[in-house]
Amino acid sequence: MEINLGHLAFDIDFHPSQQLVTTGLINGDLHLYRYASDSIPQRVLEVHAHSESCRAVRFINNGQAILTGSPDCSILATDVETGASIARLDEAHGSAVNKLINLTESTVASGDDEGCIKVWDTRQQSCCNTFKAHEEYISDMTFAADSMKLLGTSGDGTLSVCNLRRNKVQAQSEFSEEELLSVVIMKNGRKVVCSSHIGNLLLYSWGCFKDCSDRFVDLSPNSVDVLVKLDEDRLITGSETGLISLVGILPNRVIQPIAEHSDYPIEGLAFSYDKKFLGSIAHDQMLKLWDMNELLQGSTNTSRPQAAAEDSDSDDMDMDMNPPKSNKGTKKKNASKDRVSGSSNDFFADLQMEG
């Protein structure tokens, strides 16, 4: 299944319990689609969420709302059922919001272009942790719930470990000449895997984050932009060439390429809540939903399915005035300052009331 989004998509997320998938687009729009294995995906929601691009999307509150982040420095919560704005925090960060992830049922984390990570707690109705963890943009984050550690990667070439209980950056890797673009925790918490812009995977042993313990250098000659964890021993990678591959960790091996989104760089990958589908977005403005059973059975059929939904026939080139990441790690940070002021207390109070 594939959907013509009409514009370049920057992020993708699936609903935690329903057959819904959302994307954030370069024109600031938020799209929501309902999908099924035996029918054409239908767009059920379109919201112009931000004045600039919509770089990050995440379902929150058990799927009742969608959180979005933007280079306009705002974070918006949108009601899934109505599309109404639940709450908006206009000055969530001092620079462009580049990443959002869920931590617990009541906490989320956001990362910006200047290396700042914030944790937001809806119960406290405020920002409860702020970490100046990096010198460049936050490219990805992941959460170790058992130890309450938030891991982040950055264009500055480092991996950070933020201790949420102690409210401090507990560890940080040495600077690498490679931009670190994505991060997952593998091997039942014993290994942390990061991808880089030159096609390597860097493996860190838990608790020994100063330097990587292993390096997978034969993965790809091009940038590996996205990692998603399939199980404790395997992950799926999305590369700059548009190739999606199944990769084994320790032993490190490319098990097989499983799909080709297009000839354009993969921007995002995500699993549906039941792992029956893998969603992919790339620079071709298409959202594709892949049947995981077919992919894992060795299917490498990359023929383009009939477009299931088409939102725009515009041939204009999409350009983000504040690109999320460059090929070499230098970010443009001239986000618009023409914003209405807002308070984090009001923002999360509104979220709590609507939830």
> Per the structure block, which two tokens stand in for 153?
């990667």
Question: Which among 129, 113, 130, 4 has a CA at the least distance from the CA of 53?
Answer: 113
Please check whether residue 117 is in contact with residue 130, taking contact to mean a CB–CB distance below 8 angstroms.
Answer: yes
More confident residue, 298 or 22: 22
Show Cβ contacts of residue 303 under 8 Å, excluding neighbours closer than 6 positions: none
When pLDDT is cut at 50, 70 and 90, the band that residue 27 belongs to is very high
Residue 326 pLDDT class (50, 70, 90 cuts)? very low
- Give the SS3 label for residue 111: strand
Sorted by where each begins, the domain ranges of the chain are 1-92, 94-260
Q: In terms of C-beta density within 10 A (0-12 exposed, 13-18 middle, 19 or more buried), how is residue 238 classed?
A: buried
What letters, b where the CB count within 10 A reaches 16 and e where it falls short, cover 291-325? ebeebbeeeeeeeeeeebbebeeeeeeeebebbbb
Of the pLDDT bands very low, low, confident and very high (cuts 50, 70, 90), residue 235 is very high
Q: Do 49 and 316 touch, CB atoms closer than 8 A?
A: no
* pLDDT tens, position by position, 185-201: 999 999 999 999 999 99
d(CA 137, CA 93): 12
* Counts for the chain of helices (H) and strands (E), in that order: 2, 29
What CATH number has the domain spanning 1-92? 2.40.10.480
Pick the CATH number of 94-260 from 2.40.30.30, 3.40.50.1820, 2.130.10.10, 2.30.110.10: 2.130.10.10
0.75 exceeded by the pTM?
Answer: yes
Evaluate the CA torsion angle 307, 271, 326, 77 in order and state its sign. positive
Pick from 219, 221, 206, 151: which is nearest to 183 by CA?
A: 151
Q: Categorize the per-residue pLDDT at 38 as very low, low, confident or very high, splitting at 50, 70 and 90.
A: confident
Q: In whole angstroms, give the CA distance from residue 112 to residue 118.
A: 9
Give tens-digit pLDDT for 236-295: 999 999 999 999 999 999 999 999 999 999 999 999 999 999 999 999 999 999 999 999
The residue-averaged pLDDT of 110-125 equals 86
Return the higher-pLDDT residue of 270 and 335: 270
